Chains A and B, each alone.
Chain A
Amino acid sequence: MNAPLRRVGVVVMVLFGLLFANLNWVQAYKGNDYRTSPYNGRVQIDEYDRQRGYVMVSNPGSKPIALSEATKGNLKYLRSYPGGPAYAHVVGYKPVNGTATGVEQLENDFLSGTSDKLFADRLRDIFTGSHTAGGNVTLTLSKTAQDTAYKELANNKLDAKSGAVVALDPNTGAILAMASFPSFDPNPLVGHDSKATAAYKKLEGQAGNPLLNRALQETYPPASTFKVLVSAAALSANRNPDTPLQAGPGYQAPGTTHVIRNATSSTCPQEQMTLKEALTVSCNTAFARLGVDLGAQRLNDTARAFGFYDNSLRVGNLSATDRGLRVSESVLGPLTTSSGGDDKPNIAISSIGLNEVRVTPLQNAMVAAAIANDCSQMRPYLVERLVGPDLTTGLYAAAPKELRRSCSASEAAQLREMMVSVVENGTGKKAQINGYVVGGKTGTGTADEEANAGSDGWFIGFAMKDGRPVAAVAVILDDAGKGGSGEAARIAGLVMQGVIKDKGGK
């Protein structure tokens, strides 16, 4: 029986040889694939093993708005957002399962510590055996302005159920405030148990869509704020603020029986008024007629010069402009007929910012910012600085970039003069700030310009000090009803005062 026993020994050797060869395949050859596989829960555990960096606002010495604290669980660090709902759309959240949003997603590599910028720290970790925390991100947000923006949106006096605020530094494009209402508490979404998924499901199905960042992703009819762009188009067509325009109680565009009227019968019943006067009182008939006179081509060119039809704009880190928070495209809608000629009835109604004209709150703020900055429109951004885990080593600082020239400096000065008149003498008085020159434009409207009930309230504007721009802002209160634009102007004024306060009154 020894011969078969020896052969059994050979069979055993073969079986074990197969096991050995297969383990080589699985562990050595395929090991890296499995180690980093999306099905491998250890990827998460590793990620949570390193303390994720802070997200901070630009105010020196203020507390972080996102941080990670050690727990005793399997996933070591738990993310929390002391900033709460006011910062939720900008900062986003980093859930255990699923994709991160906002800055958490945009700067994930840096916050989590895997970025090449933090290579030196990781190299040191190999020798010290410790796990250095991820890097820290400082945002452009001004704390007072941001807090004010969200607080005033949430507690608006008209009980509007949604809205958004964007405030920009016209000199740099830095986003000083970006709030969207309704918002959500990001903290339950990043828990380490199944409650996080349940919390997300609940928010997803909630009325009012709190997860949506209205400041960037929702588009609204700009209503009368669009008159600023029509004015810019007029200036580029050799008009000036004193050019007389035909006003009156009603305007019937060629080719339609539809009559465009003014918000109230007392707005501009006179036959003639200057461009500046028309903007100051927000005269619909004058601007509808002006738009038709200027034509589709000029309106389109001006709108593009101010940032319309830019579907590649991302807001985030200026060193990687292809990444960042997506911004919806702002559009004018159809202004020409199928044969290519001007569609005058549509141009007339589009010229007062209705019909199919749609803007994001950011785009409208960028219009105001460009005008405040001599028509040098700066690329908006959110990430001001990247700082090492030690909180002192600076690894990146934003270098502001011009996005486009929107008009000439003299045209910008004329537009400012007209907009200042709006705040000083016209519809935007509630935005006034003591000691500052404030310009702006209100807007009230829906798809039907005459029905004020259930309409949006807009304000876009800027504050200047000593001839230099301090802040530009856009505020929208969705479905605010009567007085919406006035409330928007009031909020805009408060937000700009917040910016001024954080800048130390300068």
Chain B
Amino acid sequence: MTTPHTAPPAAAAAVPETPAVPKPSVLRLDPAARRVRRTELWLLLLAMAMVAGYLAAVEANMLDTVTMDFWYPAGVLTAVFLALHVVIRLRAPFADPVLVPTVALLNGLGVGFLRRLDLGRAKIDDRPELAIFAGDGGKQLLWTLIAVTGAMALLWFVRDHREVSKFAWTLGLAGIVLVLLPAVLPGSISEVNGAKLWIRFGSFFAIQPGEFAKLMLLAFFAYYLVRKREVLALASRRFLGIDFPRGRDLGPVIVVWAMSLLVLIFEKDLGTSLLYFGMFVVTLYIATERVSWLIIGLVLFFGGAVLAYVLAGAVGGPFTNFGQRVDIWLDPFADPYVRGWQLTQSLMGLGTGGMFGTGPGAGNPLLVPEVRNDFIFAGMGEEIGLFGLTALLALYLLVVSRGLRAALAVRDSFGKLLAGGLAFTLALQVFVIIGGVSKLIPLTGQTTPFLSAGGSSLVANWLLVALLLRISDAARTPASTGGVRR
């Protein structure tokens, strides 16, 4: 692309021209939209049937019988997702039909697996009586209700994704505040397992503001980079054969990025800082179309990582934590019972699963530490094996590719950048946590999107999906039906 300031309307050309029809009413969808929504409905029912099957298999293995209770979680999930489906029909009739069923399947399997963990913790005699909203699984089910309600609200009230850009500065500021807050708050409120990224209300309710800050900052990046992309791409100074943008154009973005990184170092959360960095570099690259940004980003990142590791050995201090993580990654069996315990047990779980797994409910995932959060993928891996995990990876890849497809198809630059950034952020998060628990990269604390127990992560990721739905609806709405609604 030599002329980056004009986005080619390739997507618009790809949409078949249809004769002008009246604006579709609530009840009478455009035939094209009806086809799309029908696909979504069937895929959704298929996904829910799979979740029900999973729950039944869990009961068969853990109770030696299938009680009729296994329907309840699947039934509640189905009801919730059908409600979302109805809202999509009304408010985003052309939205991508694959997104919701895929995410619903991940979400449902997550609820099912957490319920399976609850069953494993319960005494054998108490297992058949495990209430539907009891334990982590029940909590996750409730959070699913809240998260999907949030997604429905976003679709209902935000009729056009470009409305988001009106609040970009507010969102950027709010994002910074949310990121800052746990670092400023006393550790008794914000610290869990050594990472200061929580805000706790009382004893059982806590949110991770970083999960929401991620979305807000991304919206701000997208808005700002769209505004400045021409300047960033054209008005530059050449240095060492690479074009560098002028400082004053890049200033605000650098400030946001540096601040969030600094704060995250103080919050001792490497995973999130890596996520922000990747998110930032990639949106910058998409906006400017300059490979040099990717190169600079990668060099900065790997250089920084190596430097931090060297400093950990030489200086210690704030780098000690990072150094330890790398050491554990290099050889988890050097200290298998203390520092390496989490990772070795994760590998034991994955390895025990082997190719086909022990079957849902037939393994011992509770031997893996933090199996409901960071290590849920390893816990599931024991029971569904390499084949099952590969299927989960495929589901994630499907969500990401649908997000990228929406980015490609949508006509406006803000939408492209936002959708592309959201999709890539999701992919990066999956890579960081799954790579971490399977010893591909050093382990950094992250939730596994849609699977891990935790309300903040679930709500934030469903909002992400809602945004992708909104953008994909804009991308797929035929121009003749009014194009992008204004």
Contact = CB atoms under 8 A, between A and B. Distances in A.
Are A and B bound to each other?
A: yes
B352 interface: yes
B323 interface: no
Contacts of A31: 350-355
Given A26-B351, A27-B389, A2 B10 contact: yes
Given A3-B1, A5-B420, A16-B430, 11 more contacts: A1-B289, A2-B416, A13-B397, A23-B390, A27-B389, A30-B351, A31-B354, A32-B351, A37-B348, A39-B337, A42-B352
A2 B8 contact: yes
12 contacts: A1-B289, A2-B416, A5-B404, A5-B407, A12-B427, A16-B427, A20-B393, A28-B386, A34-B350, A37-B348, A39-B345, A41-B367
A34 B434 contact: no
A467 interface: no
A397 interface: no
B434 A19 contact: yes
B435 A19 contact: yes
Interface in A244-293: none
Nearest to B440: A22
B285 interface: yes
B404 A19 contact: no
Q: Is the interface of A mostly helix, strand, loop or mixed?
A: helix
Q: Which 4 A-B pairs have the closest CB atoms?
A: A34-B351, A31-B354, A27-B386, A22-B440
B431 A24 contact: no
Contacts of A18: 431, 435, 440
B461 interface: no
- Please classify how large the interface on chain A is, using the bins under 10, 10 to 19, 20 to 34, 35 or more: 35 or more
B404 A27 contact: no
Nearest to A16: B397
Nearest to B125: A72
Contacts of B417: 1
A22 B364 contact: no
A8 interface: yes
B286 interface: yes
Greatest chain A CB density within 10 A among B337, B350, B352, B428 is at B352
A39 B336 contact: yes
A333 interface: no
Nearest to B4: A1
Interface string A98-118: 000000000000000000000
Interface string A392-435: 00000000000000000000000000000000000000000000
Contacts of A40: 348, 351-352, 367
A505 interface: no
B289 to A, nearest CB: 5
Contact of B427 (A1, A15, A27, A33): A15
Given A8-B420, A34-B350, A23 B438 contact: yes
A24 to B, nearest CB: 7
A20 B431 CA distance: 10
B7 interface: yes
Interface in B289-314: 289
Interface string B320-337: 000000000000010011
A139 B386 CA distance: 46
A3 B354 contact: no
Given A3-B1, A5-B404, A8-B420, A19 B352 contact: no
Contacts, number: 141
A32 B367 CA distance: 17
B354 A39 contact: no
A61 interface: no
A82 B351 CA distance: 39
Contact of A1 (B364, B416, B439): B416
Given A1-B420, A42-B364, A34 B347 contact: yes
Contacts of B344: 39
Q: Is the interface of B mostly helix, strand, loop or mixed?
A: helix
Contacts of B7: 1-2
A9 interface: yes
Contacts of A15: 427-428, 431
Interface in B406-431: 407-408, 413, 416-417, 420, 423-424, 427-428, 430-431
B420 A27 contact: no
B4 to A, nearest CB: 8
B419 to A, nearest CB: 9
Contact of B351 (A19, A20, A22, A35): A35
A45 interface: yes
A3 B430 CA distance: 23
Interface string A37-54: 101111001000000000
Contacts of B397: 12-13, 16
Contacts of A1: 1, 4, 7, 286-287, 289, 413, 416-417, 420
Contacts of B285: 4, 8
Contact of A27 (B8, B345, B353, B428): B353
A32 B351 CA distance: 7
Contacts of B389: 23, 27
Contacts of A32: 351, 354
B84 interface: no
Contacts of A27: 350-351, 353-355, 381, 385-386, 389
Contacts of B431: 15-16, 18-19
B338 interface: no
A28 B347 contact: no
Interface string B394-410: 00110011001001100
Contacts of A74: 364
A202 interface: no
B123 interface: yes
A3 B289 CA distance: 8
A30 B347 CA distance: 9
Interface in B151-177: none
Interface string B371-395: 0000000000100011001100100
A5 B416 contact: yes
A30 B333 CA distance: 14
A8 to B, nearest CB: 5
B408 A2 contact: yes
A506 interface: no
Contacts of B8: 2
Contacts of B337: 39
B2 to A, nearest CB: 11
B240 interface: no
B49 to A, nearest CB: 26
Interface string B68-85: 000000000000000000
Contacts of A16: 393, 396-397, 427, 430-431
Contact of A45 (B286, B333, B351, B364): B364
Interface in B6-26: 7-8, 10
Contacts of A28: 354-355, 386
